[in-house]
Structure 1
């Protein structure tokens, strides 16, 4: 079994239209609508390549309730909130991580429809976590669904670097190791994620 591969980064914004407009202005790249989730969120996407992407997620303007996912319920400014990795065998990865002292959460199904009406279905690990930023990734398995980043309709940017800040770097490294992951982690007062992407307007930092 190889180590999990980066699947996507989650950039949470309090207002989806405003967040997408701000990203477009900063990067010169306009994200493509991805669709709506049953939990009251919607997203726009850009890809890093054929197997990884950046998800800009915010409250679905068509939904009545403000979602709680990724801290959106109380979010007032954009932030890089989470990331996902794709293991060869998600169930085995969960069992292995628990044996090593880290619980990724239970594996649950989720889905969304694209603007064209296609149903995308996947499985991911979910746990009750009120943290604003989640430096340990969740696991995802797309099964038979085509990977979103495989679509040529998504604009392309390059991920230059990705790192984390944590008040207890060694503890974070242990949790990452339980998932067979390594990440550049530096000490700081509170958990944070940082990504630098290459765009037509030059490098842009998301945090």
Structure 2
């Protein structure tokens, strides 16, 4: 059984201490994440690891080189007490059509808005994603992303830890399934506390992160 969701774009591992989490990932896997870039004005920076194909892991945390942002940092970075997989993203063939379909099926994934960051080499990346208060608060229903004409992060010779599986737990798995179906996502969800976990293949064997 394939446990890797179709159209998976990336997983989001949020942390209050980016340097410490990158070091811990390197220690556990034997693979050092690559610098991604800063989200200027948002107060965050990221590091990236390819999960194989066109999927990747984003490790995101506060950027010590930026001043405090006007609002909260993305992905609950200000609220997490320790590194945690907080959500995931899929890249549908047509973002706007996927949003319209989800709304017609009774789930609003949020408004589509533009984002950008510069890679360490100065290349500007621009993308669009769904965001807003209508997204499911668990983070288990993925947000939707479209990289447009930008070079996808996985096309930049990232270090690789192939994804073996992605799974989740929730108090009411049955309640999530229609929402996942609404955005065209597939995810194995078992009963339990809200959580998202993934396992990657590494030089040190399979390693699981929650």
TM-score of the alignment, normalized to the shorter chain, above 0.5: yes
TMscore range, shorter length: over 0.9
Out of 36, 41, 48, the position equivalent to 1:45 is 48
2: CA distance between counterparts of 1:130 and 1:105? 6
- Where structure 2 has 5 or more consecutive residues not aligned to the other structure, the ranges are none
Counterparts of residues 148-159 of structure 1 (less than 5 Å): 148-152=153-157, 154-159=158-163
Q: Which of 166, 171, 176 pairs up with 1:167?
A: 171
Q: CA deviation at 1:133?
A: 4.5
CA shift, 1:68, in A, is 2.7
Aligned equivalents of 2:110, 2:127: Cα separation in 1: 15
> 1:89 aligned to 2:94?
yes
The aligned counterpart of 2:182 is 178
Distance 1:85 1:140 in 2: 6
Residues 9-48 of structure 1 aligned to structure 2 (within 5 Å): 9-38=11-40, 39-48=42-51
* Aligned equivalent of 1:202, options 202, 205, 208: 205
Q: CA deviation at 1:181?
A: 1.8
User: Which structure 1 residue ranges, 5 or more long, are not aligned?
Assistant: none
Q: CA deviation at 1:150?
A: 1.3
- RMSD between aligned alpha carbons? 1.7
Q: How many residues align?
A: 203
| CA distance in structure 1 between the aligned counterparts of 2:114 and 2:77, rounded to whole angstroms | 21
Deviation, structure 1 residue 168: 1.0
Distance 1:106 1:4, change over 3 A: farther
Please report the TM-score for the alignment, with normalisation by the length of structure 1.
Answer: 0.93
- Name which of 117, 121, 125 aligns with 1:120: 125
- CA separation in 2, counterparts of 1:60 and 1:132? 24
TM-score (norm: length of structure 2): 0.92
2:127 is aligned with 1:110: no
**Residue equivalent to 1:61:** 64
Q: Is the 8 A contact 1:84 1:139 kept in 2?
A: yes
Question: 1:129 deviation in Å?
Answer: 6.8
| 2:114–2:127 CA contact under 8 A, matched in 1 | yes
1:74 CA displacement: 2.1
TM-superposition CA deviations, 1:81-131 (whole Å, max 9, x none): 110000010000000000101110000000000111110000000012798
Q: Is the 8 A contact 2:142 2:185 kept in 1?
A: no
Aligned counterparts of 1:193 and 1:54: Cα–Cα separation in 2 = 13
